[in-house]
Structure 1
Amino acid sequence: MTTPISDATASATRWSRFVAVGDSFTEGLWDVPDADGQCRGWADQLAGHLSERRTAAGADPLAYANLAIRGRLLRPIIAEQLPAALALEPDLVSLIGGGNDVLRPSVDVDRLARDLEAAVVRLRRAGIDVLLGTGMDSAGSPLIRATRGRVAIYNAHIWSIARRHGAYVVDLWGMRSLRDWRMWAPDRIHLTTDGHARVAEAALVALGLAPDDVAWDDPLAPLPPVPRAQQLRDDARWVRDDVYPWATRRLRRLSSGATRVAKRPELAPVE
């Protein structure tokens, strides 16, 4: 007689092969490096959470690959990373991209959404569960908030795509904790280690699983207001050290990840 499997155990062991695709957000900039010197990031942490739950339930560790490369636009992600992901025969794929596209004022957000939906359809037809993610709310950023309207439209498309095709969505826009600058690296575009950890918890919740940390989206204790002079100095440093190099690469049509390869291109057990 077969012993019934509990709902909790079934959820913990539902996925055995997870592949992450995307850009720097999924590659993991600027989380702490792993044993190989690669930044970990929220997707790596999510894989760790899922693997721990599998082994606790008596199953094999999760097999995981991360194909994301910094600087990638959505179309190259779909053209280059998606076929490689499909070849690995996963049962879960995180597909989060388009952030580099919406930084460009000339972006066609509706076309971006059509490309994303076509990729989701391709994955779902292969029987693969898909995890999408909204863009983050940039209301507090002095320059990036100019993209807020484009991100909001793209987010609306993402929720509609998920509803039509049965995908999961990490609601980054709605995360209260990410409105705190302590969650962000000095470049104000990538997350800190704490930010990545909170997104990994949000991903568990998006997948219908209980978070490991129930306080994953609790706001941090407020800091004293930053003096105006200090804020201006910080903004000037940011423009000099981060905005100017990005704009220069943009004018030269260079990508920060042009010569990089995926950090974890093959499925391997998460220990």
Structure 2
Amino acid sequence: MHRASVPATPGVGFKPQHFETILAGEQPIGFVEVHAENYMGAGGPPHAMLRQLREHYALSIHGVGLSIGSAAALDTEHLARLKALCDRYEPASFSEHLAWSSHGEVYLNDLLPLPYTPDTLNRIVAHIDQVQHTLGREMLLENPSTYLQFAGSTINETEFMSEIARRTGCGLLLDVNNVFVQAQNHGTSAEDYLAVFPLARVKEIHLGGHDAQTDETGAALLIDAHGAPVADPVWALYESVIARTGPLPTLIEWDNDVPDWPVLAAEARAAGAILSRAEARRAA
């Protein structure tokens, strides 16, 4: 089985408007990430760009449509398209979300939360086994950002993800912004969450921005919107993680209100500085 081997550098989520600039000269990144569902067509400009990027940078493919947590069986046609994409580009890694996003033949434009129970655990383990067997490669599972919790949950999230990784052999993708968002929304501690997260299983990190809003009661609510710079407390959490793990591939996610390339490059350089400090400490 192919194992993830993205370089332990900053990376960015690729946007077509940045294509020419990225290829025009040296950039502060070692990999690019794309959403699988945007490249399931046969050809056209998206694939022409991706082929050229693949010549210069490692590629990470990030799925948003497998609905790993669905109560129904996985969509085998979607999985077949995903396998064709991975076979075509041989990405350094593939990742998906701990979430569900479909009901019957209806696909929802969201990543929805799950109750953490033994039944849910068994279902997700079976789905991940199916994905990894079909793709012939390791899958990374990303921790969610959530806005509610299920009263019926009997397993905490870090234990849930640790057990999935143990039983399937999959890697984990740690989204630090998601940890911060849900800690703020649920009145818990992001530091406590990370203290017990199975960091030894983490193969990639995501960093992104969030929006501060209020709910219908006037209470503060953070939304994982991917449309702003990484917030200072998220940078602090990230540095604390890297101090424990050593350098890891780190993606800057910016999917909405996408800025000009220099803004994204500056975020990548900030991540790179933290990675460099961690590497210097390890060398010392």
Using the size of structure 2 for normalisation, the TM-score is: 0.39
Using the size of structure 1 for normalisation, the TM-score is: 0.40
- By relative contact order (CA 8 Å, sep 6+), the higher-ranking structure is 1
Hey, which of these two has a bigger chunk of strand by percent? Answer: 2
